[in-house]
Amino acid sequence: MKVCEIFSSIQGESSLAGIPMIFVRLTGCNLRCAYCDTKYAYYEGEELSIDEILKKVRSFPFKYVEITGGEPLLQDEVHELMNELVKTHRVLIETNGSISIEKVNPEVKVIMDIKTPGSGMSERNYIENLRFLKETDEVKFVLTSRTDYEWAKDFIKKHEIKTSEILFSPAYGILEPKELAKWIINDALPVRLNLQIHKYIFGDIRGA
């Protein structure tokens, strides 16, 4: 597998924000979102066997591990990796929502993006994925503007989302969190405001 980096940090997003965990960032992405903050993961990385990845992961003292990217589901071997990791860890996978999650191990928590117009990639959403989500999974809307917010509201109304958590995340440095918070409160939306707290803690730097 081509791996961009393996590191430990504080989980900055989702309902697990604040928990220390291991991150396995795989190389490659099929989308080019306007606000992407991990462009280095498009191409950078080294080839590692699954055993080598597992050895590195198990060298950390944390029980949670997140597989991310780029887009981790581009590499078919990721399924074998997840199947091995769930034997020893609590596993998450973060995916951009453009590739089927049907074959993801059911013990893995899926955090799936639904791309808004501001990303420039909203036409790439694989809507069939909504059928494969579990209640324990989470969906995330990254919002760049009021237009994105209204689009996301409309999406929630039109589609059944079975997850217990729907995350509304302001694109870092583009949409002010306080503005998004006001909209959510005023509309009494049943969503979670999702800030990238690792960036507020460490800054917008790689491997943090």
> What residue ranges define each of the domains in the chain, with the CATH number in brackets?
2-202 (3.20.20.70)
46-47, strands of its sheet edge to edge: 46-47, 2-10, 20-26, 64-68, 90-95, 109-113, 138-143, 165-170, 192-193
Q: Is 10 annotated as a binding residue?
A: yes
Q: Is 204 annotated as a binding residue?
A: no
Q: Is 25 annotated as a binding residue?
A: yes
pLDDT tens digits along 8-51: 999 999 999 999 999 999 999 999 999 999 999 999 999 999 99
Amino acid 208: pLDDT: 61
**What does the mean pLDDT of the chain come to?**
96
Amino acid 202: pLDDT: 76
% of the chain beyond a pLDDT of 70: 98
pLDDT tens digits along 40-74: 999 999 999 999 999 999 999 999 999 999 999 99
Q: Is 4 annotated as a binding residue?
A: no
- Judge whether residue 89 has pLDDT over 70: yes
Q: Is 58 annotated as a binding residue?
A: no
Are the C-beta atoms of 90 and 46 separated by less than 8 Å?
Answer: no
Q: What mean pLDDT is predicted for residues 77-106?
A: 98
Q: How far is CA 29 from CA 145, 186, 194, 208, in A?
A: 24, 36, 23, 20
Q: Is 35 annotated as a binding residue?
A: yes
Give the span between the Cα atoms of 178 and 31, in whole angstroms.
Answer: 28
